[in-house]
Amino acid sequence: MLSGYRIMWLLVMFDLPVTSKKQQKAATTFRNHLLDEGFQMAQFSVYMRFTYGKESAEAYCKRVQQALPRWGKVSILTITDKQYERMICFYGGAAEPAKKNPEQLLLF
Position 104 in a domain: no
Position 105 in a domain: no
Position 101 in a domain: no
CA distances from 38 to 10, 13, 18, 31, 92 (A): 11, 15, 24, 11, 28
- pLDDT of res. 96: 80
Position 45 in a domain: yes
Residue 103 pLDDT > 70, yes or no? no
- pLDDT of res. 72: 95
Position 108 in a domain: no
Percent of the chain with pLDDT over 90: 68
Q: What is the pLDDT of residues 7-23, one digit of tens each?
A: 899 999 999 999 999 99
Q: What DSSP element (H or E) covers 61?
A: helix 54-66
Question: Where in the sequence is the domain holding 84, given as residue range(s)?
Answer: 8-95
Position 66 in a domain: yes
Better-predicted residue by pLDDT, 31 or 98: 31
How many domains does the structure of the chain reveal? 1
- For the entire predicted model, the pTM comes to 0.82
What CATH number did the domain enclosing 73 receive?
3.30.70.240
